[in-house]
Chains A and B, each alone.
Chain A
């Protein structure tokens, strides 16, 4: 599946991959906030942010083409918002929307492509997200692939019963699934997921599950991590300050 790509990229090794997940989250959030607070015409700041992110991409040795394709994910929404804004007679804001949303997505992609999921979740816990939420996220992530695969199998089965051979895409031909068929498919998927959650819980109990217990071991911040997030935060502050005082 296409989103596994980022997961595979996160298994690589580089200066950025080795930084602590908390440091990377803090850096990403501070740069995102800086972007949100930049005025619409801060071209110098947008440009330097883009340069920084490209430098980070090459430092982390990430494939540019794949990242560029991933960034296009935002276009359906922000493209429409930008278009509507342009049609309403505010083209400057339309362009700013596009630039800002692309840069924001680029930031998040860099975070996910350089951080393994267990480390990311562990960092969220260490940053103070409640246990129940982190556990829930862990579960969704773990069963996401299992249940998506089950759904894929069921869609294939439904399609083969209806005589459709349409390549490996998950999407059915729009007119090949009626509402009723789709509803039946989703209902069966629901039942299977619900029963699976029961079995999972029994298995957890059998293995001595206690709430508040998380798998990954807590990480420690090293000096380079603090330096990394510190410089990201100060870069973000610098961007906003220069934009506010009209540089």
Chain B
């Protein structure tokens, strides 16, 4: 799932690196409001823990084994902001020391696993957690792995790499299977942690409004599926845009700031499609978040990373 260098097209890794930088900047500001000095050793040691936990292999099917990826586990124990920072540190070191994932592709890998992986885990935990905590943990693990992997596949397709459709289905199936194991493991580990009486870990499951989580989760799933379909077959996106009249809006909005940016990198029509897709995604996410805001009055969040005595 760690995308190496030399595969993604420049617009794809540049765009995702920018998105990740903004997301991490936001997260960093939120962490800074808390006692951030304490968070640094926590983030560092738990990042090292993720490294080590990935060395423990367990079976999936007879003959194949896998290991924990850990973003869901960190999210449900440390909270999304800290988990996202820790996963970023892990991915950065993996890119440099292990050469696991590329350096230019780091932005894309951070986006898939450290940003979307943790966000989706948090939302899934909340959305399913109200029924029973175990289901929340299973869902968090499943969504974090599956969405991150599906995003990686979509990025490959968006980079213009042609994949046979059966291989895409095969990859998605394998991801769903790994996701189940990740979910089961996350739930089992959380149950054990709870039984061990570690009260310091406040699980953020089910504490916050469920409708925000469900809306956000659904919109991410829809967007990932949309990104997969659109990058596999850009014509679908174009016809959809033309039908809804969004294309005129997109071209007028995009023409001015990006007008002379198009020429040097790629064919203008291709770049315009990518940009139009990005704009569409931004619009849908914005609308979903506004809708969710409208339905719920958000109270001030309590600090996620509780201090220990």
- Which of A's residues lie within 8 Å of B, judged by CB? 3, 6, 28-29, 32-33, 35-37, 70, 73-74, 77-78, 81, 84-85, 87-90, 93, 97, 99-105, 108-109, 111-112, 120, 130, 132-133, 135-144, 146-148, 150-152, 155, 170-172, 174-175, 177-180, 182-187, 189-191, 193-194, 196-198, 200-201, 204, 209, 211
Contacts and interface: CB of A to CB of B under 8 A. Distances in A.
Interface stretch (B84-92, B208-216, B254-262): B84-92
A89 B97 CA distance: 35
A35 B93 contact: no
Interface of B: 2-8, 10, 13, 24, 28, 31-32, 36-38, 40-49, 51-53, 55-59, 62-65, 68, 73, 77, 85-86, 88-90, 92-93, 95-100, 102-104, 156, 160-164, 167, 181, 184-185, 188-189, 192-193, 196, 198, 200-201, 308
A190 B36 CA distance: 21
A140 B193 contact: no
Contacts of A28: 103
A109 B104 CA distance: 14
B5 A183 contact: no
A78 B156 CA distance: 11
A152 B47 contact: no
Q: Is the interface of B mostly helix, strand, loop or mixed?
A: helix
B85 A133 contact: yes
Contact of A140 (B51, B65, B196): B51
Contacts of B99: 70, 73-74, 105, 108-109, 112
A32 B28 CA distance: 28
Given A70-B99, A88-B163, A201-B41, A191 B6 contact: no
Contact of B88 (A133, A148, A174, A209): A133
Given A84-B164, A186-B189, A194 B198 contact: yes
Q: Is the interface of A mostly helix, strand, loop or mixed?
A: helix
B52 A87 contact: no
B53 A151 contact: yes
A144 B40 CA distance: 15
A100 to B, nearest CB: 3
Given A147-B49, A190-B193, A194-B198, A140 B6 contact: no
Contacts of A155: 55-56
A137 B24 CA distance: 14
A112 B96 contact: yes
A89 B6 contact: no
B40 A139 contact: yes
A204 B167 contact: no
Given A93-B161, A101-B4, 15 more contacts: A77-B3, A78-B6, A100-B5, A132-B31, A140-B86, A141-B97, A143-B45, A147-B45, A155-B56, A174-B58, A174-B59, A174-B65, A182-B68, A187-B189, A200-B41
